[in-house]
Structure 1
Amino acid sequence: MDDFSTDAIPDLSGTTAVVTGANSGLGLQSALVLAAKGARVELACRDRQRGAAARERIRTETGNDNVHLRQLDLASLASIRRFAAEQEKPVDLLINNAGVMATPHRTTADGFELQFGVNHLGHFALTGLLLPALRQAPAPRVVTVSSLAHRGGRIDFEDLAAQRSYRPWNRYNQSKLANLLFTFEFQRRLTAHGEKILAVAAHPGFANTNLTAGMNHPATLDVLGAFFRLLGQSGASGALPTLYAATALEVRGGEFYGPGGPGQLRGRPALVTPAPQASDPETARRLWDISTELTGVRFAGLD
């Protein structure tokens, strides 16, 4: 694992990968590598124009024309349902990558606080609705991208809509903790029911991507931008833990991968330990039940 590179990824011809937020950043880097290895890649993007540009770049750089743009807005349950209903191929790999970070207080089309709604609830609903397509694949995996920020997270069950208070970073941390709680609870249920799907989590460390674009705080953006450029690893390097979790044969369900360097900020992929609050099964079950109630999406056969 210490010397993992994209050269170690096997041929993926005949497989289908769905990557959310694939028009830029870590999602684009992941999609580029998967396409280069021969996979059919479905770019699940909110912005059609940026998605189309990413599709053409991937096709040009990899020589793989089996790269397709599909519109998906994770801030809209209607869009998520439409996307899943139109899924024609079995899904071998679902990469829940898209996200927003430390945005001003906004809500999704369904009234959820934006960061919790997009980063967690959107991917929760998408995964549940794509469950039939995942079950059709021979060895399916779901990789959900979390963050080191989960360490500072806690689930505010009494104010998930952020109606009482809103601190952008606290809400981001909460959403990234929710990604891990979801992954671990999903795998517990898959294991209990003898399912072949693997649920795995990854984080990029400190990666220089465009995730800060939605923050809308110019002074903060200037400082963060300089900090990321100085200390952050490239998007290609930041995508390696996700790609390892998605393709390495030794990966097991319920594992968490991130950079193996000091502080998990950079370096080659390694198996990492989540913060203690991410491993609390009671919190995970409560979050699962509330997510089901809020989205109306049930994971058939896993209740």
Structure 2
Amino acid sequence: MTCPEWQTEDGFEMQFGTNHLGHFLLTLHLIPLMSKVPGARIVTVASGAHKFGTIDMANINLKGNYDKDMAYFQSKLANVLFTRELAKRLKKSPFDINAYSLNPGAISTDLQRHTGQAEDSWFKRHFFLNPFMGSQTTLYCALDESLDNESGFYYE
């Protein structure tokens, strides 16, 4: 999250490569296995920050115009858009797989190490969720039977 500018081994902007492209590739490789399990689910952890994102298709790596926040927002928007498109395509396929994206909320983890915020700040202690509470939306999307007939939605 909001890391300094650097690239993946393949030359992609690191946040886009890590937060989106890695998940995208893993998901595509897992779909054949998941297709053998009725009611399989793909859950992508995005962020409320996706609302501030835009995707610059002409400069996906933000070369010459790198902004660590915009890079994060772009990667999280890509997560949400990927989930929506994946759900549409899976619905037309013979596979019984649903896809969900979500915002787990602000969780007190090492994710914020590049934000400049103190590790144990007053704000973090009082307003961030602990990891157990922060996992609840993810668990809801992965396990709750009430979502069996839904796919492509974003949860907070």
What TM-score comes out, normalization by structure 2 length? 0.92
Q: Distance in 2 between matches of 1:137 and 1:169?
A: 38
Task: Specify the structure having the higher radius of gyration (Cα).
Answer: 1
Q: Deviations over 1:246-299 (max 9, x none)?
A: 0000111112221xxxxxxxxxxxxxxxxxxxxxxxxxxxxxxxxxxxxxxxxx
Count the aligned residue pairs. 154
User: CA 1:140–1:223 in structure 2 vs 1: closer, same or farther (change >3 Å)?
Assistant: closer
* Partner of residue 118, structure 2: 222
Q: Distance in 2 between matches of 1:180 and 1:129?
A: 19
Q: Deviations over 1:40-92 (max 9, x none)?
A: xxxxxxxxxxxxxxxxxxxxxxxxxxxxxxxxxxxxxxxxxxxxxxxxxxxxx
Which one-letter code corresponds to 2:25 in the other structure? A
Q: Report the alpha carbon displacement of residue 210 of structure 1 after superposing the two structures with TM.
A: 1.5
Higher RCO structure, 1 or 2 (CA under 8 Å, sep 6+): 2
Specify the SS of the correspondent of 1:199. Answer: strand
User: In the alignment, does 2:56 pair up with 1:160?
Assistant: no
Q: Report the alpha carbon displacement of residue 226 of structure 1 after superposing the two structures with TM.
A: 4.0
Which one-letter code corresponds to 2:9 in the other structure? A
What TM-score comes out, normalization by structure 1 length? 0.49
* Partner of residue 137, structure 1: 37
Partner of residue 246 from structure 1, selected from 94, 118, 142: 142
Q: Report the alpha carbon displacement of residue 209 of structure 1 after superposing the two structures with TM.
A: 1.7
Matched residues, percent identical? 39
Question: Which consecutive residues of structure 1, in runs of 5 or more, have no partner in the other structure?
Answer: 1-100, 259-303
Q: Distance in 2 between matches of 1:230 and 1:250?
A: 32
User: CA 1:104–1:194 in structure 2 vs 1: closer, same or farther (change >3 Å)?
Assistant: same
* Partner of residue 127, structure 2: 231
* Partner of residue 153, structure 2: 255
Which one-letter code corresponds to 2:47 in the other structure? S
Q: Distance in 2 between matches of 1:152 and 1:106?
A: 21
Q: Report the alpha carbon displacement of residue 225 of structure 1 after superposing the two structures with TM.
A: 4.4
Which one-letter code corresponds to 1:118 in the other structure? T
Q: Report the alpha carbon displacement of residue 224 of structure 1 after superposing the two structures with TM.
A: 8.5
**Equivalent residues in 2 for 1:144-293 (5 A)?**
144-213=44-113, 215=114, 220-222=116-118, 225-251=121-147, 252-258=150-156
